[in-house]
């Protein structure tokens, strides 16, 4: 619990807006974190409460349970001005309010190009055609007869954090980093189905598309398709929700979300990538010199402090403080996460909760003591390839400010003496 991160260095960096960090003083009037150790008796302890004086709901009150009403603001949220309409739009996972690693489907972000469609299992067909020995069509029931796998993976939209390139913009981890979810998928390996169809030697790519109007057609190298891609029908133990591709979606571990085709209807084995279609050129990154980075499928290591953060202010005074966040890498496992409370001058190694998963979210904690002074809170992820999450300056130096996709830079929250937090940049 020893917090070694605070220094009084005069060279302490300034953050956007030009305000220098203040002193180290405690907040006036703030009590230490403690219960009702002394003083007036607590009626919640001494008095009989309503909920103990009558009966609760019977077992059939909610055949399918929803979160209790007190958690009613832990929901997906949209930023209306980002896109023209909610049909071809995106919303954000309330990552600031979640803990652990698994994202409940009910609040996992959605991204649709032509809306979430309703497709019954009975009407579901999956076709494999192209450069195969036997073109095949599977029903949903057919898919259930192949050997199954279970894996936890994150799915991150390539546009996650995309609004933050030019400057700190959206005030909340939900909005800056919420185009991500992490679920346990059950399904059949794509390689199992491709082997059933028999891929011809000329086959080097698969073109995958969905049953919705946009089709969201994408080309995936055969090597990846045969590696860890899953044709999934369950998430977190239950059927996929409509908005996540019911009844079947593609899971493309570690790769950008747009390749995770929902309402999967066709897989065509091809000699080349289908590039002529408009969609395949959408997810390119514009570099500082105007050229494009293309086929940047893998999501690089990234992390964010989810609490404290703008939507999760510190509501207690100085004393014990749990700093929490999540880290992930499309290249494998997270090996270390560092946390800084002074804008990246000093770093402490955070505690990883549980074994880091492969291409899955890892939860980290820094159990620290807050002295009540301002903090410039950051986290920095390192993955098993040795890759270190870059600062915003480092990333801009390579990609410029005109990029939209693949912004995996270190995020800074300015935590004030009041405990409130704000999205800022250090420079
Ligand atoms: N068929 C289909 N699949 C799709 C899309 C779509 O619009 N249609 N959107 C893609 C994009 S851009 C992303 S980021 C992910 C989001 O998955 P989710 O809605 O389950 O969060 O789905 C991908 N798969
Ligand atoms: Mo996306």
Q: Which CATH class is domain 302-424?
A: mainly beta
Mean pLDDT on 183-193: 98
pLDDT given for residue 22 in this prediction: 36
- Which is more confident, 346 or 31? 346
Calculate the CA 12 to chain-centre distance. Answer: 31
pLDDT band with cut points at 50, 70 and 90 for residue 274:
confident
Q: CB under 8 Å to 84, separation ≥6 — which residues? A: none
Q: What is the pLDDT of residues 306-317, one digit of tens each?
A: 999 999 999 999
111 lines ligand 1 (CB under 6 A): yes
The pLDDT of residue 290 is above 70: no
Question: Higher-confidence residue: 37 or 119?
Answer: 119
What pTM was computed for the model? Answer: 0.90
On average, the pLDDT of the chain sits at 89
Contact 258 CB / ligand 1 (< 6 Å): yes
User: Which atom of ligand 1 is closest in space to residue 250's alpha carbon?
Assistant: 24
Q: Does the beta carbon of 218 lie inside 6 Å of ligand 1?
A: no
Q: Distance from the CA of 260 to the center of ligand 1, in angstroms?
A: 6
Environment class of 73 (CB within 10 Å of its CB; exposed 0-12, middle 13-18, buried 19+): exposed
CATH topology of domain 80-293: Sulfite Oxidase; Chain A, domain 2 (3.90.420)
With a cut of 60, say whether residue 20 has pLDDT above it.
no
Q: Is 260 in the pocket of ligand 1 (CB under 6 A)?
A: yes
Residue nearest (by alpha carbon) to ligand 1 atom 6: 112
Give the position of tokens 């993955």: 383
The verdict on the CB of residue 160 being under 6 Å from ligand 1 is no
Tell me how far the alpha carbon of residue 49 lies from the centroid of ligand 2, in angstroms: 48
Which residue carries 């109007």 as its tokens? 213
Tell me how many degrees the CA angle 228-207-143 measures, rounded to the nearest 5: 55
Q: In this model, does residue 145 exceed pLDDT 50?
A: yes
pLDDT of residue 29: 36
Rounded distance between C-alpha atoms, residue 81 and residue 94, angstroms:
18
DSSP string, 168-237: ---SSHHHHH-SEEEEEEEEEEHHHHHHHH-B-TT--EEEEEESSTTTT-EEEEHHHHTTT-EEEEEETT
Mean pLDDT of 88-113: 96
Q: What is the pLDDT of residue 291?
A: 65
Average pLDDT over residues 400-407: 88
Distance 78 CA to ligand 2 centre (A): 14
Query: Residues 172, 111, 326, 344: is their CA dihedral positive or negative?
Result: negative
Q: What is the pLDDT of residue 183?
A: 98
Alpha-carbon gap, residue 363 to 327, rounded angstroms: 6
Q: Where are the domains of the chain?
A: 3-52, 80-293, 302-424
Query: Which residue's CA is the closest to the ligand 1 atom numbered 2?
Result: 262
User: Which of 90, 111, 265, 282 has most ligand 1 atoms within 8 Å of its beta carbon, as the pocket-test mutant?
Assistant: 111
Q: pLDDT at residue 340 above 70?
A: yes
Which is more confident, 324 or 83?
Answer: 324
Say whether pLDDT at 293 is over 80.
no
Ligand 1: which atom is nearest the Cα of residue 156?
14
Ligand 1 neighbour 249 (Cβ under 6 A): no
Q: Which residue has the higher pLDDT, 69 or 14?
A: 69
- For the ranges 292-306, 361-375, 402-416, the lowest mean pLDDT is seen at 292-306
Mean local confidence (pLDDT), 315-322: 98
CB distance 216 to ligand 1 below 6 Å: yes
Ligand 1 centre and the CA of 179: distance in Å? 11
């Amino acid at each position: 619990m020893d917090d070694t991160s605070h220094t009084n260095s005069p060279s302490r960096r300034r953050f956007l807006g030009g305000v220098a960090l203040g002193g180290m003083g405690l907040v006036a009037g703030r009590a230490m974190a403690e219960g009702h150790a002394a003083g007036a008796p607590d009626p919640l302890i001494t008095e009989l409460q309503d909920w103990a004086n009558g009966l609760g709901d019977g077992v059939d009150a909610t055949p399918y349970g929803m979160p209790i009403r007190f958690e009613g603001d832990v929901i997906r949220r949209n930023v209306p001005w980002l896109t023209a309409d909610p049909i071809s739009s995106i919303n954000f996972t309330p990552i600031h309010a979640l803990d652990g690693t698994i994202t409940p489907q009910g609040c996992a972000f959605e991204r649709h190009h032509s809306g979430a469609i309703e497709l019954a299992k009975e009407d579901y067909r999956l076709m494999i055609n192209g450069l195969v020995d036997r073109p095949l069509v599977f029903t949903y029931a057919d898919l259930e007869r192949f050997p199954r796998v279970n894996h936890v993976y994150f799915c991150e939209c390539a546009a996650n954090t995309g609004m933050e390139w030019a400057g700190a913009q959206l005030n909340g981890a939900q909005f800056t980093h919420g185009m991500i979810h992490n679920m346990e998928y059950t399904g059949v390996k794509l390689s199992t189905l491709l082997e059933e169809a028999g891929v011809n030697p000329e086959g080097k790519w698969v073109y995958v598309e969905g049953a919705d109007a946009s089709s969201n057609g994408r080309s995936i190298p055969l090597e990846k398709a045969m590696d860890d891609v899953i044709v999934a029908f369950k998430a977190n133990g239950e059927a996929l929700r409509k908005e996540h591709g019911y009844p079947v979606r593609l899971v493309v571990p570690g790769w950008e979300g747009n390749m995770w085709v929902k309402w999967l209807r066709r897989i065509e084995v091809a000699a080349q990538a289908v590039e002529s279609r408009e969609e395949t050129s959408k997810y390119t990154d514009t570099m500082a010199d105007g050229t494009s980075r293309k086929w940047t499928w893998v999501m690089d290591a990234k992390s964010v402090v989810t609490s404290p953060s703008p939507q999760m202010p510190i509501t207690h005074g100085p004393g014990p403080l749990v700093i929490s966040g999540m880290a992930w890498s499309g290249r494998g496992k997270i090996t270390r996460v560092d946390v800084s409370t002074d804008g990246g001058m000093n770093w402490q190694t955070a505690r990883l909760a549980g074994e880091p998963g492969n291409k899955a979210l890892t939860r980290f904690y820094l159990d620290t003591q807050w002295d009540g002074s301002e903090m410039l809170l950051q986290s920095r992820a390192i993955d098993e390839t040795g890759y270190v999450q870059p600062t915003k300056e480092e990333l801009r130096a390579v990609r410029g400010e005109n990029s939209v996709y693949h912004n995996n830079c270190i995020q800074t929250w300015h935590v004030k003496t009041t405990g409130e937090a704000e999205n800022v940049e250090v420079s």
